[in-house]
Amino acid sequence: MSFVKIWVHLVFSTKNRNPWLLKEIRYKLHQHIIQNCKEKEIFLQAINGYTDHIHCLISLGKEQNIAKIANLIKGESSFWFNRQGFTEDVFGWQDDYFAVSVSESQLQTVTNYIKNQEQHHAKKSFDKEVEEFSAAYGWTVVKA
């Protein structure tokens, strides 16, 4: 019997970081993503975000990978969003995403961080957050 438990913190932003995810829309989108993940057997521990991005804490199954999960969540949710008519523009996600592994010992810390996105971004922009992650992990950020 196979056993896989790989936690991933996945973050993706709206196309051109447009602030389409207003509070009332964001909550509906999160609920839809939660339901979609259940249907696709994606274990989603936590989800939240702000006006231009979403954070997800997921556990990969034995036949899942990050690219597949990101594409399933992003593709289906953008299709759903556009069918709801929340905006006259065509909604979409950026092609890229951020994904890092999370150790069991840090699950509660990451879950709390995800749950507190509104308070967090009242003090810090998503761009600033990306810069800090890049500095902390030694990444090179290419701005579009």
Domain locations along the chain = 6-137
- Whole-number Å distance between alpha carbons of 142 and 111: 27
At 55 the pLDDT is 96
**Tens-of-pLDDT digits for all 144 residues of the chain?**
788 889 999 999 999 999 999 999 999 999 999 999 999 999 999 999 999 999 999 999 999 999 999 999 999 999 999 999 999 999 999 999 989 999 999 999 999 999 998 887 777 777 777 777 677 767 665 554
Burial of 105 (0-12, 13-18, 19+ CB in 10 A): exposed
The rounded Cα 133 to chain-centroid distance in angstroms is 15
> What's the confidence (pLDDT) of residue 64?
94
Burial of 97 (0-12, 13-18, 19+ CB in 10 A): buried
Q: What topology is assigned to 6-137 in CATH?
A: Alpha-Beta Plaits (3.30.70)
